[in-house]
Amino acid sequence: MSYLDALVHGVSTSTQTGLIPTNFAVFSRLGQVILAGIMLLGNGVLITLAPVVTRLYYWHKFSNQHSRSDEYFALWQLLIIVPSYYCFFVGLGWIVLGVYAASAPDALDLMDKNSNNPAWWGLYHSMSAFGNCGYSTFADSMVQWQTQPLPLIVMSILILVGNTAFPLMMRLIVYTLWRVPFLKRSKHVYRYLLDHPRRCYTHLFPAPETRWLLVLLLFLNSVEFLFELILDWDNAAYLQLNAGYKLVNMYFQAIAIRTAGFNSVDLTKLSSAILWLYVGMMYISASPVAITVRYTGQAKNQSRDDSIEAASRAPHKKNTVGSQVQNVFVKHFVCVFLAILFISMIEEVPLAVDPNYSLFKIIFEVVSAYGTVGLSLGYGSNPTSFLGVLSGGSKLVLSFMMILGKHRNLPDSIDTAVTVPKELLFEETDLDEIEVLSESDGDDATQRQRYRDHSHRGHHRHRHEADKKKTKRSSRHVEEDIEESEERKRPGPENEKREVSGEEESEGEDEEGSQFDTGEEDIELGRRNRW
């Protein structure tokens, strides 16, 4: 294997894409373990903990134990819930798949035929399915398992809970913990997570957005499943299967095609209409989750800015679901087009002479890389992705598209669940109190009135501190004047000169003092007008 292919394997695994430049089934056990470790580090569920850990670090660094609020304890709960969520589903999938592969006669035959260990096969496919990576220890993915429904159903569930259904499961878990009677001590923490989900976690949404995401998930999967039934029921790819197996495989295809990259049938035998539908679904990929992350994050920031009536009156950028759809889908469309163009230019000669090369395969591969799906039409009987037969320049372009597609699902840097709370960095200022006011319930008019009242209190507090300093300075000046008056009582020509010069200086100070008082009154008047 060349260094370039090793690089592509690393990029494909870390981005959870699954495009393979070489036959992964013949990898040594050590090589598979290394890629499994990279797969673990790049897992989309575990990556969401990075902002949580960062915020907890700053909380420990800048605050004391008495100032820790419900948000602090909510972050700690997330640090327990998310890893437990990963371990539970991956562990359960490992047990079910491993036990089935070690006990079912047909599964044992496949293990022997492909020189696989049941325990390792179960663990690797559980991790790969949960991470939506698409890597399989079998050369043809899940095609050999098309007559065994249990592995297909288990892996489809892992695919859902590890990606598109993850935000739904998170809210369900938090709600369940909030309703559990014996967790009364943490009840207020779970209530805080339900009331302020986007303040604590990027993939925990308010109830309306969660319902919207559920409806969209069911709609997209149902549309794909129905098109499979209508267009490919009698297709050659399903011809050898009975009705029950057809339904199971079509269901698995509908779940796996959009994000995971597993396939249980030969894609080259499917109809052209279904393949174009696959292209559209791969381009959408996990975008509904990304759209919800960006929409709820920006809505949170805009409501905060409106509640504190920022001094700058510049209008906010319009934040609607439509604007976020445009931002996610249109922003990188030019990059997808350029990637197709560059690869077509690089592969111009093979496209002209090799019948296994086609423009549609290039489009399919680029969209699969951008959607971090990993599905491929392959190259003849070659047990690799179509990427495996492309030249080095095309592989680099596709690697860039994998990285680009991975980053489109990340939240913006201004996301409240990513940024460090201002109250930790500016405890001595009014920013923390403004933050609390912005989180309070009530309409905008009530929040604005609270902000005005609070601003007046903060203004008077600063004036009071300034008056204290001024009083200290004036008392020091009085002591100096007393000492100077005592010296003046002493007879001598120097005192007479000092008295004359003192009278002149006092007159100058009176004039300057009157000017200073006038200037201070102007400043005070300006402050009142501003408030």
What does the mean pLDDT of the chain come to?
Answer: 78
**pLDDT at residue number 185:** 83
**pLDDT at residue number 60:** 78
DSSP string, 384-431: S-GGGGS-HHHHHHHHHHHHHHHHTTSPPTT-TTTSPPHHHH-TTSSH
- Two tokens at 167? 């935000």
Quickly state the pLDDT bin for 327 (edges 50, 70, 90): low
Who wins on pLDDT, 366 or 405? 366
208-224 confidence digits (pLDDT tens)? 889 988 998 999 999 99
**pLDDT at residue number 491:** 52
373-411 confidence digits (pLDDT tens)? 999 998 988 888 999 999 999 999 999 999 988 887 665
Who wins on pLDDT, 514 or 295? 295
**pLDDT at residue number 61:** 77
**pLDDT at residue number 405:** 87
Q: Does pLDDT of 290 surpass 70?
A: no
Who wins on pLDDT, 447 or 416? 416
**pLDDT at residue number 153:** 96
Q: Does pLDDT of 440 surpass 70?
A: no
Give CA–CA dist 447/459, Å, rounded: 18
Give CA–CA dist 314/295, Å, rounded: 20
**pLDDT at residue number 127:** 95
Q: Does pLDDT of 509 surpass 70?
A: no
Who wins on pLDDT, 140 or 184? 140
Calculated CA dihedral for residues 415, 416, 420, 423, nearest 10 degrees: 150
**pLDDT at residue number 25:** 87
Q: Does pLDDT of 340 surpass 90?
A: yes
Q: Does pLDDT of 173 surpass 70?
A: yes
Among 48-62, 407-421, 494-508, the range scoring the smallest mean pLDDT is: 494-508
**pLDDT at residue number 65:** 58
Q: Does pLDDT of 361 surpass 70?
A: yes
471-493 confidence digits (pLDDT tens)? 444 455 545 555 555 555 555 54
Quickly state the pLDDT bin for 314 (edges 50, 70, 90): very low
Among 140-144, 244-248, 435-439, 521-525, the range scoring the smallest mean pLDDT is: 435-439
347-358 confidence digits (pLDDT tens)? 999 999 998 899
Long-range contacts made by residues 78-84, C-beta under 8 angstroms, separation at least 24? 78/49, 78/52, 78/193, 78/200, 78/201, 78/204, 79/49, 79/52, 79/53, 81/170, 81/173, 81/174, 81/177, 82/45, 82/46, 82/48, 82/49, 82/52, 82/170, 83/46, 83/49
Calculated CA dihedral for residues 407, 420, 302, 44, nearest 10 degrees: 30
Q: Does pLDDT of 516 surpass 70?
A: no
Q: Does pLDDT of 500 surpass 60?
A: no
**pLDDT at residue number 517:** 47
Among 15-19, 31-35, 69-73, the range scoring the smallest mean pLDDT is: 69-73
**pLDDT at residue number 68:** 64
Percentage of the residues of the chain whose pLDDT score is greater than 70:
67
Quickly state the pLDDT bin for 267 (edges 50, 70, 90): very high
CB 316 within 8 A of CB 305: yes
**pLDDT at residue number 325:** 58
Alpha helices per DSSP H over 104-233 = 105-113, 118-130, 149-161, 166-179, 187-195, 197-200, 207-232
- Two tokens at 64? 């004391």
- Two tokens at 378? 């392959």
**pLDDT at residue number 407:** 82
Question: First-to-last CA distance in the chain?
Answer: 70
**pLDDT at residue number 485:** 58
Who wins on pLDDT, 307 or 325? 325
CB 397 within 8 A of CB 342: yes
Quickly state the pLDDT bin for 181 (edges 50, 70, 90): confident
